[in-house]
Amino acid sequence: MGVYPEGLTMRTVSGSVGGLPTGQRVSVRFRCPVWLIGPADDLVYAPHPVDATVGADGTFTVELPVTDDPTWSPVDWAHDVRITYGEHVKQGTVRLPIAQAGPFDLTDVLVLDQPTQTGGVDYLDATDIGQRVPSLVDGLVPVDQLPEAAAAPVTSVNGEVGVVILSAADVGADAAGSAAAVQFTANLAYDASQQALAATATKNGLADARLRGFKATPGAPSTGTWVAGDVVMDSAKVLWRCTTDGTPGTWA
């Protein structure tokens, strides 16, 4: 069976790549593009390529699994095929029905990918372009054939010329570090408010409590790290208070 697990239904596929110059290297690669799950829990076939051994005359034969075996999942998929010779590449798909005993001739089952067409215009790959327009190399226009760029250099930046270095004020931005300073001040104010809250929470013998926010679901928090005294309101408007520090702590 080789690279395939036991239980896969296999078929023989043969073909020939002809009309090639002497010594031209040919590659024929098949690839199952899906994970195949077999009837038993330990039967799994991962997608990977299988290269056919191509003879000097361009002929090849390869064993491949059928593409609609009802005992394997998924059903009704297709092998990807890539044929490479020199700079030429042809791609397509192959379906091997289990109802047909085989062997299969590649020319009977191969469906080649078609170039995308819009408004009757063919979109060509780099190799095809190079063949039809010899002056183009790999589908690219040589630099000496490109038109000259329009003379429209940048004359100034923000009203400045020469080597321009803009400051925050030049573009209406805050000075470097100002945002961090504002955040730091806000943090200090928050800490002070929390300290004040903690200082007054035990008034008249009441336990310490700090409202931390609102939950979008009912019930006490089940994640996160909390400190005794933290209070959360759930979606049912029930208040929950953390009585023991922890993750997520003890709530009542």
Domains annotated on the chain, with CATH: 10-116+123-132 (2.60.40.3390), 199-251 (no CATH)
Distance, in Å, from the CA atom of 82 to the CA atom of 90, rounded to the nearest integer, reads: 6
Residue in the structure block whose two tokens are 């008034």:
203
Average pLDDT over residues 111-136: 56
Q: Vertex 219, ends 216 and 222: CA angle to 5°?
A: 90
> For residue range 144-194, what is the model confidence (pLDDT) as tens digits?
767 776 666 677 887 788 788 888 788 777 777 667 666 666 666 666 566
87, 93, 97, 100: CA torsion to nearest 10: -40
pLDDT of 75 > 70? The answer is yes
CB 17 within 8 A of CB 85: yes
Distance, in Å, from the CA atom of 103 to the CA atom of 91, rounded to the nearest integer, reads: 21
User: What's the alpha-carbon Rg for the chain, to the nearest Å?
Assistant: 35
Average pLDDT over residues 85-103: 89
Q: How far is CA 193 from CA 180, 188, 197, 238, in A?
A: 20, 9, 6, 24
Confidence of residue 203 (pLDDT cuts 50, 70, 90): low
Residue in the structure block whose two tokens are 């939950």:
215
pLDDT of residue 98: 94
Cβ within 8 Å of residue 179, ≥6 positions away: none
Picking from 68-72, 75-79, 110-114, 240-244, which range would have the lowest pLDDT averaged per residue?
110-114
Confidence of residue 214 (pLDDT cuts 50, 70, 90): confident
If DSSP codes are grouped into helix, strand and coil, which group holds residue 13? Answer: strand
User: Which tokens in the block code for residue 141?
Assistant: 């226009």
Distance, in Å, from the CA atom of 169 to the CA atom of 62, rounded to the nearest integer, reads: 71
Q: Where are the beta strands (DSSP E) in the chain?
A: 10-16, 26-31, 36-37, 44-45, 49-52, 59-65, 79-85, 88-94, 104-105, 110-112, 117-118, 121-122, 210-214, 230-233, 239-244, 250-251
CB 65 within 8 A of CB 10: yes
Confidence of residue 196 (pLDDT cuts 50, 70, 90): low
DSSP secondary-structure letter at 35?
-
pLDDT of residue 64: 93
Residue 89 pairs in a beta bridge with 84
pLDDT of 246 > 60? The answer is yes
pLDDT of residue 1: 43
Distance, in Å, from the CA atom of 185 to the CA atom of 181, rounded to the nearest integer, reads: 6
Residue in the structure block whose two tokens are 């038993």:
40
Confidence of residue 248 (pLDDT cuts 50, 70, 90): very high
Taking the whole predicted model, whether its pTM rises above 0.75 is answered as no
User: Which tokens in the block code for residue 192?
Assistant: 């002070």
pLDDT of residue 13: 95
Determine which helix (DSSP H) or strand (DSSP E) holds 206, and give its type and residue range.
Answer: none
Average pLDDT over residues 102-110: 90
Share of the chain above pLDDT 90, in %: 35
pLDDT of 131 > 60? The answer is no
Confidence of residue 134 (pLDDT cuts 50, 70, 90): low
